Amino acid sequence: MSEFDEAIPQEDGVELETQEDPNLVEDNEVEDLLETDDVEDTVAPAAAEGEKPKAEKVVKEKVRGDLPPGIVTPIGLCKELNVRRLGRDKHGNEKDLKPQEVYSYIKNAPKEHAFPLKTGVKDSLGKDRENVLDLEEGIAWWIAKNERTEARRTNAANKAAAKAEKAAAKPAETSAPATEEAADDVDLSDFAEAEQTA
């Protein structure tokens, strides 16, 4: 008897019958099932009688042909920039670029430093390809971009240093204690004239 059977009340000395779930499996039966070695590995037959054989895969033709030498896609540029280790993070440290970063620079490039995309380039299948570029022009643009961002970073650091020096010098000048006499030296006539003209 299980703990649930014990909880069933008995009436007038008559035991109530309990029904066990026929789907329940005892723990020892589970272990027996796991230990059986008579399971056979079966391999599905290639094709049973009366069934159709599987169709052969259809080889698709290339949609895009090969680009002319020296012309790459933005992803090709990204790969070459990573090979040459030209990727930089916002602090100027070297990093690997992701293709979406290159696409972002293409989309958001300033007008005065436009990304050197080419249009109307024909691939080996004779199809026009858009958003391709000359590899060397793309690398030159990227190097110039790195130089511009480094110059901005240097200017910002110099500006912050000058501001810090100015802030450090200012407390030294204003460290003299303010006295009541200094407040009496204020000429109130300037304020009175301003009110009269207003």
Number of structural domains (the chain) is 1
Percentage of the chain lying above the pLDDT 70 cut: 60
143 found inside a domain: yes
85 found inside a domain: yes
β-pairing, 132-134 with 117-118? Answer: antiparallel
87 found inside a domain: yes
Split at pLDDT 50, 70, 90, the class of 39 is very low
37 found inside a domain: no
28 found inside a domain: no
| Distance in angstroms (rounded) separating the CA atoms of residues 95 and 87 | 5
pLDDT tens per residue across span 123-139: 999 999 999 999 999 99
104 found inside a domain: yes
Question: What does the pLDDT read at residue 175?
Answer: 56
Question: What does the pLDDT read at residue 139?
Answer: 97
More confident residue, 59 or 32: 59
Its pTM stands at 0.55
Split at pLDDT 50, 70, 90, the class of 78 is very high
| Distance in angstroms (rounded) separating the CA atoms of residues 2 and 5 | 5
Split at pLDDT 50, 70, 90, the class of 98 is very high
Residue 113, domain extent? 71-162
pLDDT tens per residue across span 164-180: 999 888 876 665 555 55
pLDDT tens per residue across span 140-164: 999 999 999 999 999 999 999 999 9
Question: What does the pLDDT read at residue 82?
Answer: 96
Q: Is the pLDDT of residue 63 over 70?
A: yes
pLDDT tens per residue across span 6-25: 555 555 555 555 555 555 55
180 found inside a domain: no
**Token digits for 25?**
């499996």
What is the rounded average pLDDT of the residues 59-65? 84
Question: What does the pLDDT read at residue 100?
Answer: 96
63 found inside a domain: no
Helix, strand or coil for residue 10? Answer: coil
| Distance in angstroms (rounded) separating the CA atoms of residues 19 and 22 | 9
